[in-house]
Amino acid sequence: MRTTLPIVWVIIIATIAGFMLESGAGESALSAFALWPIGAGFMPWQLVTYAFLHASITHIAFNMYGLWMFGRELENLMGRRAFLNLYFASVISAALMQLMVTNATGGVYPTIGASGGVFGLLLAYGMFFPSRVLMLIFPPIALPAWLFVTLYAGLELTLGVTGSQTGVAHFAHLGGMAGAYIVIHLWRERRR
């Protein structure tokens, strides 16, 4: 009997491999595969490749934990292909949002990390499993998934608008959520 590795694990393994390659290649990996603003090194493949690069072990650890935590149940619910479409729609919509923000602000810096895809999965989790209880780490409070997602989106919007937490692509996170919402909305419309 042939068993197939879940897509969640394929993405995690590929992202860890990307991080290891980035660690070995250094600046050349960032200049080629990070998401750069249009006119400052942007190439079309960066809309996807940036999600396989990370700034640190902590950065990749949190993203892969979120991918594993929310992705397993979503993949079981929707199947491999739909899950893959949802994840990469979130990654790409996060990249597009980040490009709009850097264009509007004139920022010239690379964006890396799978957070946009993970935030898309978080939104999908809140939509498909709204009553599931999620436990916050700091402070340790149990919240239903829909409320957790709503509060987290509000926090990301606040931090993005105020610019009080630099070095984090808050609008890319929101872009990932927007991409997931659009994909789920289109699926639901097709079923009707």
pLDDT digit string, tens, across residues 153-164: 999 999 999 887
Locate 87 and state its tokens.
């994840």
Statement: residue 1 has pLDDT above 60: no
Sign of CA dihedral 123, 55, 37, 31: negative
pLDDT of residue 149: 95
Domain ranges of the chain: 7-191
Per residue in 86-127, pLDDT (tens digit) is: 999 999 999 999 999 999 988 889 999 999 999 999 999 999
- CB count within 10 Å of CB 131 equals 7
Q: Enter the pTM of the model.
A: 0.92
Fold of 7-191: Rhomboid-like fold (1.20.1540)
In sequence order, the 6+-apart residues with CB closer than 8 A to the CB of 162 are: none
Helix axes 115-128, 80-105, angle to 10 degrees: 120
The pLDDT tens digits of the residues spanning 11-24 come to: 999 999 999 999 88
- Residues belonging to the chain: 192
Q: Which two tokens stand for residue 3?
A: 């068993």
Q: Which pLDDT tens digit goes with each residue over 28-82? A: 888 899 999 998 999 999 999 999 999 999 999 999 999 999 999 999 999 999 9
pLDDT at 2: 58
